[in-house]
């Protein structure tokens, strides 16, 4: 069962897959799932029995990912949509409902990252990065909420450990990712009566697709900072943690020992934490860029 929904008539509702797995009978949208962690999270959901709507902005790359999933026998459709555009998000959610008839899981994973210092950054670049991380979660959720309420479903915002304390060269990205933590908390309080799960996953350093680019101060795509492989989790490891977070309906998951160390430092030893960041920024500048 598969279809490419980009600009084409939507298929009639299909039965969601039967069989075994923690997500059998459930339908998920994973934004930004044409590549990277989103793609591997979508793959893990499919392997656990879910029907999944893949999403991205690049039609060619999205189709390539979709075809790989179809070859694996997974229940997927794809929808080209920019998640910073509300009308596109309505289309994305409609794709899930028309293809599979329901929606249980929303993972807002799409994001633009940066490699730029605030003083150098063009204001519109700050806005692009910030919007992709904030409105890129708000708009899909606004469009999906009535359907998620019906199924008492689950929402997971993908954030970063760099949002836990802030990181030089990541101002708009960290600010956007940090906003998601408060958004999740507020919605948990405001929408408690709905039974919908609102959670956030702070992802740590993870292996990247070779073609992953982030924005520089002028908005040009550039390679991300090099980090030693031993510091990084694989995308499949991160995907497995995200699925566990959803299954257990956890409020917050912080991935990696470094992430948990940042939480401790930020909470109990904030000045020492900042001293470490400032010292390492001077000595290991390339690590932050």
Ligand X SMILES: NC(=O)c1ccc[n+]([C@@H]2O[C@H](COP(=O)([O-])OP(=O)(O)OC[C@H]3O[C@@H](n4cnc5c(N)ncnc54)[C@H](OP(=O)(O)O)[C@@H]3O)[C@@H](O)[C@H]2O)c1
Closest CA to 206 of 170, 161, 168, 248: 161
Q: Are strands 76-80 and 51-56 parallel, antiparallel or unpaired?
A: parallel
> Any contact of residue 136 with ligand X (CB under 6 A)?
yes
The stretch near ligand X (CB under 6 A) out of 21-29, 109-117, 164-172, 182-190 is 109-117
Interface with ligand X, residue 158, by CB under 6 A: yes
Residues 225-284 that bind ligand X (CB under 6 A): none
The distance of closest approach from Cβ of residue 43 to ligand X in the complex, given in angstroms and rounded to an integer, is 12
In the set 86, 139, 173, 288, the catalytic residue is: 173
Distance (Å, whole) CA 263 – CA 165: 8
Residue 2 makes contact with ligand X by CB under 6 A: no
Sole window of 139-147, 205-213, 262-270, 281-289 interacting with ligand X (rule: CB under 6 A)? 205-213
Least distance to ligand X, CB of residue 101, Å: 24
Listed residue (15, 60, 35) closest to 212, CA to CA: 35
Select the residue interacting with ligand X from 17, 32, 140, 273 (CB under 6 A). 32
Q: Which stretch binds ligand X (CB under 6 A): 70-78, 108-116, 182-190, 264-272?
A: 108-116
Task: Show the site string, 170-189: x = touches ligand X by CB under 6 A, - = not.
Answer: --------------------
**Subset of residues 37 to 76 that bind ligand X, contact rule: CB under 6 A:** 37-38, 55-58
CB of 221 to ligand X, least distance (A): 8
Largest CA distance in the chain: 58
Q: Identify which of residues 2 and 156 has a Cβ nearer to ligand X in the complex.
A: 156
Cα angle 166-172-177, degrees, rounded to a multiple of 5: 65
Q: Which residue has the tokens 């900072």?
A: 225
The CB-of-85 to ligand X minimum distance in angstroms stands at: 8
Taking each continuous run of H as one helix and of E as one strand, the counts in the chain are 9, 10
Reference 37, options 194, 206, 182; nearest CA is 206
Bridge partners of residue 106, in order along the sequence: 29, 155
Environment class of 8 (CB within 10 Å of its CB; exposed 0-12, middle 13-18, buried 19+):
exposed
d(CA 114, CA 240): 26
Candidate list 2, 4, 26, 35; residue touching ligand X; CB under 6 A: 35
Q: 117-129 burial by CB neighbour count: b if 16+ within 10 A, else e?
A: eeeebeeebbebb
DSSP-based three-state secondary structure for 54: strand
Q: Which of 203, 243, 254, 262 binds ligand X (CB under 6 A)?
A: 203
Assess contact for 32 and 54: CB atoms under 8 A: no
- Minimum distance from residue 20 beta carbon to ligand X (Å): 28
Q: Closest CB to ligand X among 16 and 81?
A: 81
Is 288 annotated in the active site? no
- Interaction between residue 106 and ligand X (CB under 6 A): no
Hey, which residues are catalytic here? Answer: 173
Which residues would be at the binding site for ligand X (CB under 6 A)? 31-32, 34-38, 55-58, 82-84, 109-113, 132, 136, 158, 160, 203, 205-206, 208-209, 212
């Amino acid at each position: 069962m598969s279809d490419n929904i980009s600009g084409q008539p939507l298929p009639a509702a299909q039965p969601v897959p039967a069989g075994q797995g923690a997500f059998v009978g459930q339908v998920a949208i994973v934004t930004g799932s044409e590549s990277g962690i989103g793609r591997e999270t979508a793959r893990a959901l499919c392997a656990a029995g879910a029907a999944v709507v893949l999403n991205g902005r690049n039609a060619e790359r999205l189709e390539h990912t979709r075809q790989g999933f179809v070859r694996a026998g997974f229940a997927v459709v794809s929808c080209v949509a920019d998640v910073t555009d509300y009308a596109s998000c309505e289309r994305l959610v409609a794709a899930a409902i028309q293809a599979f008839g329901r929606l249980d899981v929303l993972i807002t994973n799409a994001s633009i990252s940066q490699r730029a210092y605030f003083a150098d950054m063009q204001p519109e670049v700050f806005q692009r990065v910030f919007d992709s991380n904030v409105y890129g979660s708000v708009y899909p959720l606004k469009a999906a909420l009535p359907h998620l309420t019906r199924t008492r479903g689950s929402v997971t915002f993908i954030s970063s450990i760099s949002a836990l304390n802030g990181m030089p060269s990541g101002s708009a990205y960290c600010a956007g990712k940090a906003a998601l933590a408060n958004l999740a908390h507020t919605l948990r309080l405001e929408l408690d009566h709905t039974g919908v799960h609102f959670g956030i996953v702070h992802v740590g350093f993870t292996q990247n697709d070779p073609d992953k680019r982030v924005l520089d101060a002028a908005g040009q795509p550039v390679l991300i900072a090099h980090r030693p492989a031993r510091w990084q989790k694989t995308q499949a490891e991160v995907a497995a943690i995200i699925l566990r977070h959803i299954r257990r309906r956890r409020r917050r998951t912080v991935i990696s020992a470094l992430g948990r160390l940042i939480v401790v430092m930020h909470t109990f030893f904030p000045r020492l934490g900042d001293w470490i960041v400032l010292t390492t920024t001077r000595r290991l500048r390339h690590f932050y860029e």
